[in-house]
Amino acid sequence: MQVAIDGPASAGKSTVAKKLAQDLNYMYLDTGAMYRGVTLEFLKDDVDLTNDELISQKLKNINLTFETIESEQHLLINGEDKSQEIRSIAVTNSVSDVASIKQVRSFLVAEQRRIAGKHDVVMDGRDIGTTVLPNAEVKVFLLASVHERAQRRLLDYQQSGETISLNQIEEDIKNRDYKDQHRAISPLVKAKDAIELDTTSLAIDEVVEELKKIIEKVKKS
């Protein structure tokens, strides 16, 4: 069983995907974390995003792995835990530019398909239902209003000690969604066969329950 969860920034994809995978004992893969990992490395080395040769060289030296620590999935870059750093505002504001680079996408899509292998998997991102797992049995497109998404993200930032206003988060989210929706390769778009779910007024557990119902229906059909 392959479950593809796509949608715009902060719609709750990774939170519900993780919970769903735990409950069903499926593998979970956070593809956004991988784009964030590459972005962190590129920012660290001040990589010129127009230099194809340099990008190709850098990608060869990036080894992304996931490790479960106290039931949380951590992203390791070349063996070092970077789970916290990849969530910074600096990475968040650069990730869409890095994710629009063809080589980066080819590299990560290949990795994502390899990691998922033949497991039952819940994968979340922007292009899972359209590109990474086009034959996924279940495809869901999660939505929520920009205001609700910004409020959810504000709480995340407050917990990690980063200072930013709600207005600024709303702007950043709109900006990132626009870039993700308008890039040339694998833009953020609902797959034709995806089920749309607006989570604006839904709690995390309610979304997870909805997804379980969708999966049950597919299993019975």
Binding site residues, ligand CDP, CB under 6 A: 7, 9-15, 31-32, 35-36, 95-96, 99, 125-128, 152-153, 155-156, 176, 180, 199, 202-204, 207
User: Which residue's CB is nearer to ligand CDP, number 156 or number 219?
Assistant: 156
Amino acid letter at 61?
A: N
Question: Which of residues 2 and 14 has its CB atom nearest to ligand CDP in the complex?
Answer: 14
3-state class of 72 per DSSP?
Answer: strand
Shortest spacing between CB 72 and ligand CDP, in angstroms: 13
155 vs 221, beta carbon nearer ligand CDP: 155
CB of 117 to ligand CDP, least distance (A): 17
Contact, 27 vs 21, CB < 8 A?
yes
Query: Is 125 among the annotated ligand-binding positions?
Result: no
CB 3 within 8 A of CB 211: yes
* Cβ contact 64:111 at 8 Å: yes
Q: How far is the CB of 10 from ligand CDP (least distance, A)?
A: 4
184 among annotated binding-site residues: no
Q: How many CB atoms lie within 10 A of CB 9?
A: 24
Q: Nearer to ligand CDP by C-beta: 125 or 215?
A: 125
Interior CA angle at 193 toward 187 and 197, to 5°? 80
- Of 98, 89, 97, the C-alpha closest to 171 is 89
Residue nearest to ligand CDP as judged by C-beta position: 32
15 marked among binding-site residues = yes
Q: What order of strands is seen across the sheet that includes strand 72-77?
A: 64-69, 72-77, 80-81
Q: Please tell me whether 187 is known to bind a ligand.
A: no
User: Is the CB of residue 32 less than 8 Å from the CB of residue 127?
Assistant: no
Nearest approach, Cβ of 13 to ligand CDP (angstroms)? 3
State the nearest-atom distance from the C-beta of 118 to ligand CDP, in Å. 20
List residues forming the annotated binding site for ATP.
Answer: 7-15
